[in-house]
Structure 1
Amino acid sequence: MRSSLIRGRPRRAKAHIPARVTHAVLGAFVGAGWLVLPVMTVGEHDPVPVSPAGPVASAAAAQQGGTSVTDLLMPLVAVGAAGALAGYGYLRRTRRARTRTTPGVVSAAPPVPTTLENERQARAALVLADDCVRGSRGELPFVEALFGSKAVEPFGHALRAAETEMSAAFAIWRRYEEGVPGDESARRQALVGVVGRCAEAGRRLDAEAEALDRLRGLEQGVGAALEVAEGRFRELAARTAAAQATAAELHRRYAPSAAAPVTGYVEQAKDRLVFATSQLNESRQAADSGDGQRAVRRLRAAEGGVAQAGVLVGGVELLAAQLREAAALVPAALTGGEAEIAEARRNGGRARLAPGELHARIAHADGVLAAVRTELTAGPYDPLDALRRIARAVERLEVGRSGVVGAAARLVSRSALGGAEDFIAVHRGAVGAEARARLAEAERALGSGADADVLAREARDLAERDVRTHGNPYADGHATGLAGAVLGGILLAEEPDGGPPAGFGGPETRARRHLR
């Protein structure tokens, strides 16, 4: 019934319009009739018998000979009244249409965004601002190599301020995902806070973009910057060859899960270097031909490719070092785990667990340590995973993790966090807000002593899911440099050739190297 009432109201309102127009027209006709009537009666004879001549008769004769002021006044009053009524009705209808809040009637007030629309806006703001931070971070090392750390300090300060804003934005978003706050109005305000923090991060970077361009002076010539980029390219080309041998060694020496975090990294690094090679060549050719705009654009793209190749090669090198450190730490972690199990048996988990629960957890920890000892003698194993299992099993005893077991847990967390960070950095063109927020939470947890390992692994899993959904150009073994550059966020995919390269700056300035 309600819907039928809502549908009927607009039709009744529209039906009143012809009626009021009709009333106004009738009033006008009545007024016109009053004006015409005296003229139509001027020549007619009065049926009353003629009276003797006298003063009265002469006065009547004078009135019949013309139209008096009284005869004209009444029609004018009628016409004016009709016009006033019509105008009043129109103004009343207009005012009612503007202020009416009845359902089904269009109001002048703007529509309130839905919760889903607010969430989409917040997600997009997080991804955009985080990409701006990462793109800005990637350009600064090339500037520092040419001008020194002191010249780069103002831009580093802006970058750190933007990172602080992003950390706060991700923290608000994570609490929102967890249902905090619970009030609907407060949740809307939380999303507004996310967007506001992201906007401030972008503003900090935008404010320094012009000053960075003045410092670099690329429009006046790219020669010195090209030499820096080419020098880093040659260094990475040599490191990539060594990283390929390192990755092969990881597969021979450890279990498959140990090298899994960097599987395919060497191939992707080569792809980024191939892309950088073509961009460096085109930049030099453009500079020689006097096309400064194209030279700068290609140089920045090459710098982005070199920077990501460095991330990929560095990831292989770092994982190899962490696996060696973990392998050396496993025997000591086993000894430390046994000591904490003995402490739990003596003190009953410091009375925090019921006897039955404590007995079950002690049995589980004994089983984990026994399994790790077996792996040490059975062949290749994953040292980081062994430390992870030891630390988790001992932690469940609630006797206070310290000493060598605590050091093992920190090594595992750093490794997982670094792996997730590297993966997101080189695939940021496809990674969404959830993975980035989980990574930010893992970074905060690492500083607070919480379990950053679990959060970092969740961030990596979410990022890999996003890449699979987006489509990975490396999946079929036929990647191109351009596809990898777009996937990595080196190019912003805004133009047919892959778009402008991402540079230092926020949303307003990061794509300033666009085609003109």
Structure 2
Amino acid sequence: MTINAEAPVAAARGGPVAAEREAEGSASATDLVLPLAAVGGVGILAGYGYLRRTRRARTRTTPGVISPHPPMTPLPVLERQAGAALVQADDCVRTSRDELAFAEARFGAEAVEPFAGALREAERELSAAFAIRLRYDGGVPEEEAARRHALAGIVGRCAEAGRRLDAEAPGFDQLRALERGMAEAQEVAEGRFRELAGRTGAVEATLADLTTRYPASATATVVGYGEQAKDRLVFATTHLNQSRQAADLGDTARAIGDLRAAEGAISQADILLNGIERLADSLTAAAGLVPAALTGAEAEIARATAKAAELRSHLTHADTVLATVRLEMTSGPYDPLDALRRIVRAVRALGGGRDGVLGAAALLTGRHDVDPADDFVTTHRGAVSAGARTLLAEAQRLTGTDPGAAGEQALKSRELAEQDVRVHGNPHAGTDEPTSGMSGAVLGGIVLNETPDGGPPLSFGGPETRRRRGLPPT
């Protein structure tokens, strides 16, 4: 091979020149083969590296690289998020309702109507969210994609409820004008405080009387309510005094925070005392209704007996219930509300009992079951889960149309809420000063348990505004 333009000359087979050219040819071939081999190796390595990079790009989750199939949030995580949204929205609604009552007491119903309207809208959104959760807990819908959509709907409804309250919080503050009208607001709160403090002794006496006239089951729903009411009032008087002192010193922010803490405790003390008085009224009404309910139930059983043989097992059960109630009435103290509840349930299984005296009995027992459950959730909301609140929302929805079913849901709600409180405990119990009332305030959700001193009191508003009147650090 030559690299010039001249005609090639045949090489001799022997001699030094031939040997030299042969050696040169051999070296040239070797020089050519080695680079080609190196290039081939580099190509193989480059291809392998490309494949590895491609594979990593498809699977890795480091920032800056978007996977074509991002991982989905596990369903249990979404369920916990939806539950937390329900609890927060429900707390916002309950707190807003409490403070709205103080504003109405001072300014009247007409002045607070725009804020009451916003609260009603928030309540509707929350009710819709609870309805979705109730169906979800019952397995509807079944497909995972649809269940994810349902959970997103719960979060969205709760967010809208909070947004409505957040939007009205500035206007609500302008109405209350606590910076300018602190003295008047303190007088309203102190007036309610004095009224409750004056009632406490009489209410405790009422409860003591109930415990002597009825078995323990009749008063189980209000056990400890007198002590809890006094605990809330201790907390209230402490913060009312601190609010007065802060106002005298010109520390308006501190005065407002202490006032809101006191108002929250006063509202819950009122709920607890009302619960005892309502129980006394319900027991009296139930005792007067039991004889008529027995008569009405017997008439329903007679009609059912003549109507269908397939109700035989229900008829036998109903007869047994009525006989048991009659025996209890003549054997000593008995629980008239529980007796009515059993009569109503026995007759409902026969397809009757929705009108007349049995309808009245169902309404009485249903309301008795729903109202105490609501009281318990309100005064223990720092520990009550979304599950108990969901059942309570369903019970409240059914109260007007099916009080018997409402009562059953309410009892389940109360049972679950009590379980939540037992499991949750109270981090302030046994650690705060005996006279501070902080444990009850934390358990009742009056203050957020975010700092060692209990955290800020809550105000009218949604998640973004309810902390705005926090207590300054001491």
TM-score normalised per structure 2: 0.84
Could you tell me whether the CA contact under 8 Å between 1:221 and 1:292 is conserved in 2?
no
* Structure 2 counterpart of 1:409: 362
Secondary structure at the residue paired with 1:451?
Answer: helix
In structure 2, how many angstroms separate the alpha carbons of the residues matched to 1:474 and 1:383?
38
* Structure 1 counterpart of 2:58: 101
In structure 2, how many angstroms separate the alpha carbons of the residues matched to 1:104 and 1:301?
47
The CA deviation at 1:311 is 0.4
Instruction: For residues 336-373 of structure 1, give each alpha carbon's deviation from its aligned partner in whole angstroms, at most 9, with x where no partner exists.
Output: 0011111112222xxxxxx2x42222222111111111
- Which of 461, 486, 490 is equivalent to 2:446? 490
In structure 2, how many angstroms separate the alpha carbons of the residues matched to 1:143 and 1:95?
68
Seq. identity, %? 60
Within a 5 Å distance, the mapping from 1:31-70 to structure 2 comes to none
The CA deviation at 1:410 is 1.4
In structure 2, how many angstroms separate the alpha carbons of the residues matched to 1:399 and 1:302?
48
In structure 1, how many angstroms separate the alpha carbons of the residues matched to 2:378 and 2:421?
12
In structure 2, how many angstroms separate the alpha carbons of the residues matched to 1:438 and 1:164?
16
In structure 2, the CA distance between the partners of 1:97 and 1:504, relative to structure 1 (3 Å rule), is: farther
Residue 116 (1) aligns with residue 71 (2):
no
- Which of 290, 313, 316 is equivalent to 2:273? 313
In structure 2, the CA distance between the partners of 1:210 and 1:405, relative to structure 1 (3 Å rule), is: same
Secondary structure at the residue paired with 1:140?
Answer: helix
* Structure 2 counterpart of 1:422: 375
In structure 2, the CA distance between the partners of 1:230 and 1:436, relative to structure 1 (3 Å rule), is: same
* Structure 2 counterpart of 1:372: 325
- Uncovered stretches (5+) of structure 2, i.e. residues with no partner: 1-38
Residue 147 (1) aligns with residue 107 (2):
yes
In structure 1, how many angstroms separate the alpha carbons of the residues matched to 2:217 and 2:426?
21
Residue 440 (1) aligns with residue 400 (2):
no
Could you tell me whether the CA contact under 8 Å between 1:427 and 1:467 is conserved in 2?
yes
Secondary structure at the residue paired with 2:400?
Answer: helix
Instruction: For residues 254-304 of structure 1, give each alpha carbon's deviation from its aligned partner in whole angstroms, at most 9, with x where no partner exists.
Output: 111111100100100000000000000000000001111100000000000
- Which of 137, 150, 156 is equivalent to 2:116? 156
In structure 2, how many angstroms separate the alpha carbons of the residues matched to 1:170 and 1:272?
29
* Structure 1 counterpart of 2:33: none
In structure 2, how many angstroms separate the alpha carbons of the residues matched to 1:287 and 1:103?
59
In structure 2, the CA distance between the partners of 1:98 and 1:443, relative to structure 1 (3 Å rule), is: farther
Within a 5 Å distance, the mapping from 1:259-274 to structure 2 comes to 259-274=219-234
Residue 300 (1) aligns with residue 253 (2):
no
Instruction: For residues 77-121 of structure 1, give each alpha carbon's deviation from its aligned partner in whole angstroms, at most 9, with x where no partner exists.
Output: xxxxx9xx99xx89x969975994358999524542110111111
Structure 1 residue ranges, 4+ long, deviating more than 3 angstroms after superposition: 92-107, 472-480
In structure 2, the CA distance between the partners of 1:191 and 1:493, relative to structure 1 (3 Å rule), is: same
Instruction: For residues 452-499 of structure 1, give each alpha carbon's deviation from its aligned partner in whole angstroms, at most 9, with x where no partner exists.
Output: 111000000000000001115899896850110010000012233211
Q: What's the C-alpha RMSD, in Å, of the aligned pairs?
A: 2.6
* Structure 1 counterpart of 2:424: 470
In structure 2, the CA distance between the partners of 1:296 and 1:98, relative to structure 1 (3 Å rule), is: farther
Residue 174 (1) aligns with residue 134 (2):
yes
- Which of 147, 166, 181 is equivalent to 1:187? 147
TM-score normalised per structure 1: 0.78
Could you tell me whether the CA contact under 8 Å between 2:236 and 2:261 is conserved in 1?
yes
Q: Which has the greater radius of gyration?
A: 1
- Which of 97, 104, 115 is equivalent to 1:137? 97
In structure 2, how many angstroms separate the alpha carbons of the residues matched to 1:299 and 1:438?
33
In structure 2, how many angstroms separate the alpha carbons of the residues matched to 1:475 and 1:330?
42
Residue 458 (1) aligns with residue 412 (2):
yes
Secondary structure at the residue paired with 1:512?
Answer: coil
In structure 2, how many angstroms separate the alpha carbons of the residues matched to 1:345 and 1:316?
41
* Structure 2 counterpart of 1:381: 334
In structure 1, how many angstroms separate the alpha carbons of the residues matched to 2:339 and 2:413?
21
Could you tell me whether the CA contact under 8 Å between 1:280 and 1:298 is conserved in 2?
yes
Q: Which amino acid aligns with 2:128?
A: A
- Uncovered stretches (5+) of structure 1, i.e. residues with no partner: 1-81, 349-354
Q: Which amino acid aligns with 1:374?
A: L
In structure 2, how many angstroms separate the alpha carbons of the residues matched to 1:472 and 1:346?
57
- Which of 443, 446, 459 is equivalent to 1:503? 459
Q: Which amino acid aligns with 2:424?
A: H
Could you tell me whether the CA contact under 8 Å between 1:343 and 1:399 is conserved in 2?
no
Secondary structure at the residue paired with 2:58?
Answer: coil
In structure 2, how many angstroms separate the alpha carbons of the residues matched to 1:326 and 1:311?
22
In structure 2, how many angstroms separate the alpha carbons of the residues matched to 1:196 and 1:447?
28
Q: Which amino acid aligns with 2:111?
A: A
In structure 2, the CA distance between the partners of 1:341 and 1:199, relative to structure 1 (3 Å rule), is: same
In structure 2, how many angstroms separate the alpha carbons of the residues matched to 1:322 and 1:472?
32
In structure 2, the CA distance between the partners of 1:289 and 1:184, relative to structure 1 (3 Å rule), is: same
In structure 1, how many angstroms separate the alpha carbons of the residues matched to 2:331 and 2:430?
35
* Structure 1 counterpart of 2:305: 345
The CA deviation at 1:443 is 1.1
Q: Which amino acid aligns with 1:426?
A: T
Could you tell me whether the CA contact under 8 Å between 1:167 and 1:440 is conserved in 2?
yes
* Structure 2 counterpart of 1:249: 209
